[in-house]
Structure 1
């Protein structure tokens, strides 16, 4: 491939991300992206998965969705050589732009993204600073799913999360029982982590710290010590504390679940991967209540494929309940509203949970130490990445540090923190056009609150509510599978969520006030949102108003197909992930979490895929080593 052709292929993709493909990397010319593409092809030993053109009439297992869980399930089930596995993915394959860690935001609102939006609230307000009072909810429509769109942060959650699942009747899901599945996946490249009992090497999924960071990352750790927290591996024995971010990257590039689990097995004859294949319905025998296969659309034609053993839905916390309800599995009254015959009356789409925080919490410093577009998107930086797989372009979506802290509302033991910090040495002004596109922030809000900081050095903390009490729903708008469902998160309907998040914001202010940050004369940006000017800065009313305006989610929807014992009237799947009331059908993705985990959801979703695969093997008589 010529350099011109290589550059052109990336530029074509860039056109889908930006009105002008030549500005996607700021000052980095397109020919540098071409060099990146050529280097990528030459050093990556794992070729891309094969998009099978001819689909067989039947397979033993049909896996719906090739994302964070589905890629794992398809890979692991195909380890059984006499089983045939079909993986159906609605999107296409990832590419060179999605591989660059620092450009994670550019894949959102692109062809890789379902581009969901929340339904405007009717009661408790949220997302008021966004166009239409709607928050964008990016979800991966690509092989690898949301692991292609996310900031690659590797966090497992808290021991107590999983023990609570088990205590509520989900046998086999305690922390000690799920930890081996985290370890099974992992190939940790940081020796000081890999040699501990809480990490491992040799798995498909590469995990490591970014090889590059700004000076502020060290200040963040020092600030944690000043506040009485330990600097530790928060994926280890104890979660509470401060740490440098661990991420799913390999040789300086993103390690999605497609790269980790599908590329190494791309030549398995018993595994077929069909991209651009959108599943519209699970076909269920109305007499036997057994799943027979799925309908899917490919090349504008409706197809059917039979599952001889099982259908496994791994379409995510929005996609899986959507498909189930279209198939006649869900709340009876709701399905009847759409004239869908009810095959199993269970609470599909209920119990929606998401981590929520205050976006745009910005601090100003005097020294040139922050991550700015003009400083770090340069030819020299691009060449360092291309030639050495190092430098600022390896940054994990700009998130250099994490912390898990306890507000006064956290359990007294201090071992189950209720707030997480994502620390980034940048802010909305690092690339305002792209950030506004991703968040949907109104121009009037940006121009009033953030534009005055155009030339300032800024950093940010995203304080995230780890265990929200407010829950929402996924509901059908139509029986037409092309019509997106209603996403009703019901943020801030529970007063305790506001109280906990307010305390988390104040701890973030204390981080800025430490000696570590005062060396840079750090101070909070205090221009209020237009709708909050009537409140004094740092009052409870001010913070509640602010969080209802710049409502920020880092896209962790879960729990819409709740796992639970048969005695739980709200459960959708049993502890072996089998759908209640329908045979030969399971769900394996983040939607099965009874309660959202205390941390980023990608690693736990991969764990669910690993554990689901073993349970399926066991249930079909395959011995697990």
Structure 2
């Protein structure tokens, strides 16, 4: 209600700004009509938001903790059974229509929709960031991290899932998960519309951005000139170069909330409570069965019971945190915090992430159109164009346009299992004055290294490790659920992880030297990081390794902290049905169950896990259709 009361005030303020300060003849655009259209669309989105349930029942059939990517899917699928009452509990508030402007993806980290996690300080990774800590944005909003991410939709390769099955997870092989990927999608890319691999009847819209920069097109062509094939990265095999497939609908973000909750906002068997933080699970007297949850909402404590199951879908940080706060976790760790042990399980271990070397910058000749903040503010017709028809540069999510998946051992083979990704971003660190702060750069190091970029036109490539060997851990710092846990990623614990990123940097440089890139005057930005010169000259393997350790970028893919596997495997937390070992009526369904991280961005696999998990629940309760 509070946000709904604020909405008219915000709209009125923006209306005054546009009518008073923006000339009506701005480059032949019609800003007022464009803005009014934008407001009307935003109002419709607000009307489609599931209501914040004011009066809660004392008991539901299912309680789903976390209205993120997985939680929204589960809420939708479980309430397909009309007699099942479902409570969806979310610590954050509504997504709003400004969050759905793709170009603003970088800036959403600065809002209340972000948990704003930081890792433990280390000089082995993120050494060039403030306090030697990595920023780990996670979604604290209805829609979760699908509201904060860059909307990149990639599934991974068949060996990812066949490996899951080989680890003892029956039913999780590629042939078993592919139908669920197809079930997710309303695939809207005609060039790749192969019904063997893509679905057209799902809730989530998948499409290309309706705008491409000259730089992006040249980079994709340059990769092909080097020898990489253009490929559907969600087809039979992901390897090769392609423009991004996105969770996007008509040029706007299509989050899990927009996709899965908006269409069912009138279902009376779904209750959603927002700004509600679950603090503990409730057990029966035997401590072997979960019967409900405790949570806080606007300063008031609630205890709600679950007839059938409690499902934790709070993500790779919050899911293990809640389990440990409730007494499910490593015995020695829980006892050190005086938390009574309910079940001794390796919760919080097996933390995985995809990481990249930041700061790999290339300069080009000045282009006619730029995605920089300065350019857009000086060409407000681009803003009005997006408001009017959701086209133009503002439809490019955070500047991300294309990617290349490859196996370093067989880099031009489209049937290979990728271990590296190159992600192309059509702007540089100089494109936005807030960008380096979002990423967490140490101000002095950033100024010394990147201020010479000035206002030159630039682009970035993130060489990303897709199958890391290194594993980290999530640990409690306190029994207080509002205290952020300790996050220890252990990036580069294995030297080969670091070397693969170095090889990725060198391939990015090779692409920049291809004919299509030369036409733009592409040149590697070669002002060195002063602290890295002591390891080797600029351009050496040792220098690039240092750069990766200085500017270690997470791609927001934390996973694995409630590992799925056989109960006889002492490294696992849930079984192949996603049930917590030794505890009845409790499942974990989100990215934390991944036994190995997929060779892809993790949002699409998380949708798949939730769709498959929902069917498992229906099967176990005799309601699978």
TM-score, normalization by structure 1: 0.93
CA contact (8 A) 1:10 1:34 kept: no
CA contact (8 A) 1:120 1:134 kept: yes
Q: How does 1:133-282 map to 2 (within 5 A)?
A: 133-282=132-281
Please, which moves more after superposition, 513-522 or 310-319? 513-522
The CA deviation string for residues 116-153 of structure 1, in whole angstroms up to 9 with x for no partner, is: 000112xx611111111111100000000000000101
Q: Does 1:79 align with 2:80?
A: yes
The CA deviation string for residues 326-374 of structure 1, in whole angstroms up to 9 with x for no partner, is: 0000000000001111111010000000001101110011131542222
The answer for the alignment partner of 2:392 in structure 1 is 391
Q: How does 1:2-13 map to 2 (within 5 A)?
A: 8-9=9-10
Q: Does 1:608 align with 2:606?
A: no
Q: Distance in 2 between matches of 1:620 and 1:408?
A: 46
Distance verdict in 2 for CA 1:194–1:564, change over 3 Å: same
The answer for the alignment partner of 2:621 in structure 1 is 620
Distance verdict in 2 for CA 1:403–1:79, change over 3 Å: same
The CA deviation string for residues 39-93 of structure 1, in whole angstroms up to 9 with x for no partner, is: 3246659711111111110000000000010110111000001100000000000
CA-CA distance at 1:31 after TM superposition: 7.4
Distance verdict in 2 for CA 1:374–1:411, change over 3 Å: closer
Please, which moves more after superposition, 402-411 or 539-548? 402-411
The answer for the alignment partner of 1:577 in structure 2 is 578
CA contact (8 A) 2:159 2:174 kept: yes
CA contact (8 A) 1:60 1:84 kept: yes
Please, which moves more after superposition, 124-133 or 170-179? 124-133
Distance verdict in 2 for CA 1:245–1:410, change over 3 Å: closer
The answer for the alignment partner of 1:567 in structure 2 is 568
Q: Distance in 2 between matches of 1:323 and 1:561?
A: 11
The answer for the alignment partner of 1:374 in structure 2 is 374
Q: Distance in 2 between matches of 1:306 and 1:612?
A: 21
3-state secondary structure, aligned to 2:398: coil
The answer for the alignment partner of 1:35 in structure 2 is 36
3-state secondary structure, aligned to 1:468: coil
Q: Distance in 1 between matches of 2:411 and 2:335?
A: 42
3-state secondary structure, aligned to 1:386: helix
3-state secondary structure, aligned to 1:309: strand
Q: Distance in 1 between matches of 2:235 and 2:428?
A: 29
CA contact (8 A) 2:293 2:303 kept: yes
CA-CA distance at 1:467 after TM superposition: 0.6
CA contact (8 A) 1:286 1:343 kept: no
Distance verdict in 2 for CA 1:288–1:552, change over 3 Å: closer
CA contact (8 A) 1:32 1:382 kept: no
Q: Does 1:500 align with 2:500?
A: yes
Aligned length: 606
Q: Distance in 1 between matches of 2:34 and 2:449?
A: 34
Distance verdict in 2 for CA 1:46–1:129, change over 3 Å: same
The CA deviation string for residues 560-601 of structure 1, in whole angstroms up to 9 with x for no partner, is: 000001221100000000001111000000000001110111
Q: Distance in 1 between matches of 2:138 and 2:33?
A: 29
The CA deviation string for residues 475-529 of structure 1, in whole angstroms up to 9 with x for no partner, is: 0001111111000000111111011111111111111111110111211111122
Q: Distance in 2 between matches of 1:613 and 1:64?
A: 14
Identify unmatched segments of 5+ residues in structure 2: 1-5, 15-21
Distance verdict in 2 for CA 1:223–1:50, change over 3 Å: same
The answer for the alignment partner of 2:110 in structure 1 is 109
Q: Distance in 1 between matches of 2:454 and 2:34?
A: 27
CA contact (8 A) 1:222 1:516 kept: yes
Q: Distance in 1 between matches of 2:44 and 2:89?
A: 28
CA contact (8 A) 1:61 1:312 kept: yes
3-state secondary structure, aligned to 2:382: helix
The answer for the alignment partner of 1:362 in structure 2 is 361
Q: Does 1:338 align with 2:337?
A: yes
Q: How does 1:380-529 map to 2 (within 5 A)?
A: 380-408=381-409, 415-432=416-433, 434-529=434-529
CA contact (8 A) 2:281 2:293 kept: yes
CA-CA distance at 1:193 after TM superposition: 2.4
Q: Distance in 1 between matches of 2:361 and 2:585?
A: 50
CA contact (8 A) 2:371 2:431 kept: yes
Q: How does 1:117-128 map to 2 (within 5 A)?
A: 117-121=118-122, 125-128=124-127
The answer for the alignment partner of 2:17 in structure 1 is none
Distance verdict in 2 for CA 1:490–1:108, change over 3 Å: same
CA-CA distance at 1:196 after TM superposition: 3.8
CA-CA distance at 1:216 after TM superposition: 1.6
CA contact (8 A) 2:42 2:96 kept: no
3-state secondary structure, aligned to 2:60: strand
The CA deviation string for residues 215-236 of structure 1, in whole angstroms up to 9 with x for no partner, is: 1222122112112111011110
> What is the Cα-based RMSD across aligned positions, in Å?
2.3
The answer for the alignment partner of 1:100 in structure 2 is 101
The CA deviation string for residues 383-402 of structure 1, in whole angstroms up to 9 with x for no partner, is: 11111121111112211101
Q: Distance in 1 between matches of 2:30 and 2:491?
A: 42
The answer for the alignment partner of 1:318 in structure 2 is 317
Q: Distance in 2 between matches of 1:156 and 1:175?
A: 11
Q: Distance in 2 between matches of 1:493 and 1:381?
A: 45
CA-CA distance at 1:206 after TM superposition: 0.6
CA-CA distance at 1:623 after TM superposition: 2.5
Q: Distance in 2 between matches of 1:232 and 1:44?
A: 35
CA contact (8 A) 1:7 1:37 kept: no
Q: Distance in 2 between matches of 1:174 and 1:485?
A: 33
Q: Distance in 2 between matches of 1:522 and 1:562?
A: 44
Distance verdict in 2 for CA 1:11–1:573, change over 3 Å: farther
The answer for the alignment partner of 2:18 in structure 1 is none
Distance verdict in 2 for CA 1:587–1:6, change over 3 Å: closer
CA-CA distance at 1:284 after TM superposition: 1.4
